[in-house]
Amino acid sequence: MSGGTPPAGFPVPLSILELANVSSGSTSEAALAATTDIARGAEGWGFDRLWVAEHHNMPSVASSSPAVLLAHLAANTTTLRVGSGGVMLPNHAPLVVAEQFATLEALHPGRIDLGIGRAPGTDGLTAAAIRRAQGTGADDFPQAVAEVQAFLEDAFPAEHAYARIGLMPRPSAGPPIWLLGSSGYSAQLAGLMGLPYAYARHFSRRNTLPALELYRSSFRPSAALDAPYAMVCTGAVAADTAEEAERLATSGALAMLLMRAGQPGPIPTPEEATAFEWHGDAAEHLRRWLGNVAHGLAEDVLTELEGIQRETEADELMLTTSIHGEAPRVRSFELIGQALAARAQPLGSARARG
C-alpha cells in the first residue's frame, strides 16, 4: 500500500470522512445527496480519498450501509479513492465483508479502501439486533480481521476449514485493509499486523500521540507495508467568514452534547446552538469541541492542519465536518480546496514563466 500524492501547498495527502449528516429540518435523502456532491467535488479540490463511516440508530447519520453507499459514490466519481472509515467488523461476518469489498474492488479497480473498526457504531440494543445471528463480538476482533485478510488474499492454510471457500468475485488485487481506532488496542494491533492505521483524533484528541507512538513502536513489516503509515482524522470547518465557521462548528458541538445526554437527533441549527445555555459542563464541552475542530477561513484552517500534521507526524490527514446544513458542508470542503489551489498558484505561474 502506498499513500496518495500531497496536494500542492500541503505536506501530506488530505482526505475526507463523510457521515452523511442529517440536519434539523432536512432529510436523509438530502444528506446522502450532499455526500455525493462532496465526492464529485473532491476530485477537483485536491483530496485523495473519501471514506464513509458505519453508524446505526443515529438520527444525525445516514451512512449505515458503507458498502452500498460506496458503490454509489464510486460510480459517481472517476479517480477518487473511496472506502470505509469504517466497517464495524463485530457487526458482520468476515466472509460477507470480504465479498462486499472484493466486489467493489472488481468494479472499481485500485480505488477501494477497506477500513475496519472494532466499536459497534451504535448503542447496545441496536448492536444486539444487528448481531442476532452473528455470534461474534469485540473480543473476536483480531481473529475476524485476520479472516477478512485471508479471504481477500486466498491465504488460509490448506488444513483450515475455510481454505475450501473460494471468494468471488476475486479481483486481481484486494483492497488495502486499514485498522481504525481511538485507543492503544487498535494501534498496537495495526502495528503487529503491519497494517496502515487511522486514528480518530476528532473525538479522542488526548490519546492521539500515545496511540501513534504505540502503533509505530509495535509495527512489524508485512506484505501490506514495509513501514508504518498513519492517518489522523480531525474535525475541520471552513466558511466565508471566521464568525460563520464558528457558528457552524457550534451546531456540531450541540449535536454531540445532546447525543451524550441521551437525546440524539439531527444536527441542530446554528441558531439553536447559539441560543443554547452553555454553562458548566456544557461550556467546557463547547470549549474542547471548538479546540478540536480547525475552523475559520480556509487558509487559517490549512495552517492549523499543518500544525496538527507536524505534531503527529501523520502520513495523511482526513477531515470530517459535522455541521448543520448540506450546502455549508459542501462549501466547507470547496473552500479548503480553493485555498489549496491558491497556494499552488504562484508555483504554477513560475513554471509557466519558466
pLDDT digit string, tens, across residues 258-308: 999 999 999 999 999 999 999 999 999 999 999 999 999 999 999 999 999
Q: How many CA atoms lie within 13 A of 223 on its CB side?
A: 8
Q: Tell me, yes or no, whether 21 lies in a domain.
A: yes
For residue range 117-152, what is the model confidence (pLDDT) as tens digits? Answer: 987 655 666 666 666 555 455 578 999 999 999 999
pLDDT (0 to 100) of residue 354: 38
CA distances from 191 to 55, 145, 216, 219, 317 (A): 26, 13, 6, 4, 19
Asked whether residue 266 is assigned to any structural domain, the reply reads: no
Instruction: List the CATH number of the domain containing 131.
Output: 3.20.20.30
C-alpha cell at 89: 467488523
352 contacts: CB under 8 Å, gap ≥ 6: none
Q: Per the domain annotation, does 75 fall within a domain?
A: yes
Per-residue confidence (pLDDT) for residue 133, from 0 to 100: 53
pLDDT number for residue 353: 37
Report how far residue 151's alpha carbon sits from residue 232's, in angstroms, rounded to the nearest whole number: 28
- Please give the pLDDT value at position 111: 97
Give the C-alpha distances (Å, rounded to integers) separating 264 from 110, 145, 325: 37, 31, 17
pLDDT score of 130:
63
Asked whether residue 290 is assigned to any structural domain, the reply reads no
- Please report the pLDDT score of residue 203 as a whole number: 85
Question: 237: domain range?
Answer: 14-242+297-353
Cell numbers given for 352: 509557466
Q: Which residues of the chain have pLDDT under 70?
A: 1-2, 120-138, 346-354
Q: How many domains does the chain have?
A: 1
Q: What is the dihedral of CA 37, 43, 48, 54, to 10 degrees?
A: 20
Domain-embedded: residue 116 = yes
- Whether 271 maps to a domain, the answer reads no
DSSP class per residue in 21-47: BPBTT--HHHHHHHHHHHHHHHHHHT-
Q: Which pLDDT belongs to residue 345? A: 79
Residue 72 lies in a domain: yes
Would 118 be classed as within a structural domain? yes
**CB–CB of 62/20 below 8 Å?**
yes
